[in-house]
Amino acid sequence: MSTTFQLDTSTSRANPTPAPMKRLTVPKIRLRKQDGVTAEPLVMLTAYTARQAQLLDAHCDMLLVGDSLAQVIYGLPSTIPVTLEMMANHGAAVVRGSYHSVVIIDMPFGSYEASKEQAFESASYLLKQTGAAAVKLEGGEAMAETVEFLNKRGIPVMGHVGLTPQAVNVLGGYMARGRSDNEADKIVADAKALDDAGAFAVVVEGVVEPIAIEVTKAISCPTIGIGASARCDGQVLVTEDMLGMFDRVPRFVKKYEDIAGMIENTVKTYADEVRERSFPGPDQTYQPKK
């Protein structure tokens, strides 16, 4: 059966053809950690559109089509309402816009928890529809059997432990995890279970630094920190948070720019010029040929 994604090599604004790049692979990401050490930290950011992927691709090892698109793109209060179709549409756009990074797609809430067979059906749908390389799912020991099942059937899986946003209703909020001994022990055990099951990397989110470091030392696959520690094997942030698109962001986010302010100032300038009839000017209008 043919897949639905296509590689567009046109030179249009939507799909400019970049300099030739060889795309990274999941095994190469996994092998960046050798004997418990990652010589160069892995770089991952979220992406939801083709243009965003084009801008991020050359600088990242991985692009995550995160279910955080719920809040960032759709203005939803949490990731819970996200559907497979939403993830597939945005995932396909990111694959079309990238040529270098490994593209990973979040499996949305309710698409994999019921059984490993459900997880395979959902994951295979996402990969067929998008051409992405891997999926990511949340949960530790409870998901280890599912991760092994998918891995054995040709679907690479990235795990996710610590603060798991899809479980926000159980956790009671987006607080940091691992402050109690019981929480810390569970996070380490969850990460080990995913590693043993064949996960090629594990996101460690919202975890107190000593536990993030312990997890990184305890498992053989790379850890990707977000609100964890610089000593994780890599880092990920929501791109819009990092760029300063939102006033309120989690404590662990560093705003590298004030893109929201830049957009507001640019739009104000445009609006002022329209109202004073200085735009469009001679350079933006067509005149009859002499």
Annotated binding site for Mg(2+): 67, 106, 138
Q: Which residues contact 94 (CB under 8 A, 6 or more apart)?
A: 47, 48, 49, 50, 52, 53, 63, 65, 103, 130, 132
Annotated binding site: 67-68, 106, 136, 138
Would you list which residues are annotated within the binding site for 3-methyl-2-oxobutanoate? 67-68, 106, 136
Domains of the chain (ranges; CATH) run 26-258 (3.20.20.60)
pLDDT at 237: 98
Distance separating alpha carbons of residues 167 and 275, to the nearest angstrom: 49
pLDDT value at residue 8: 46
Q: Is 223 exposed, middle or buried (0-12, 13-18, 19+ CB in 10 A)?
A: buried
**So which residues are the catalytic ones?**
205
pLDDT tens series, the chain, 290 aa: 444 444 444 445 666 555 566 899 999 999 999 999 998 999 999 999 999 999 999 999 999 999 999 999 999 999 999 999 999 999 999 999 999 999 999 999 999 999 999 999 999 999 999 999 999 999 999 999 999 999 999 999 999 999 887 876 676 666 777 689 999 999 999 999 999 999 999 999 999 999 999 999 999 999 999 999 999 999 999 999 999 999 989 889 999 999 999 999 999 999 999 999 999 999 999 999 98
Please name the residues in contact with 127: beta carbons below 8 A apart, sequence gap of 6 or more.
105, 133, 135, 155
As a whole number of angstroms, the distance between CA 245 and CA 255 comes to 9
Q: What is the pTM of this model?
A: 0.90
Sign of the CA dihedral running 131, 124, 46, 87 = positive
Residues in contact with 65: Cβ distance below 8 Å, sequence separation at least 6, in sequence order = 46, 47, 48, 87, 90, 91, 94, 103, 104, 105, 106, 130, 132
| Rg of the chain on CA atoms, in Å | 21
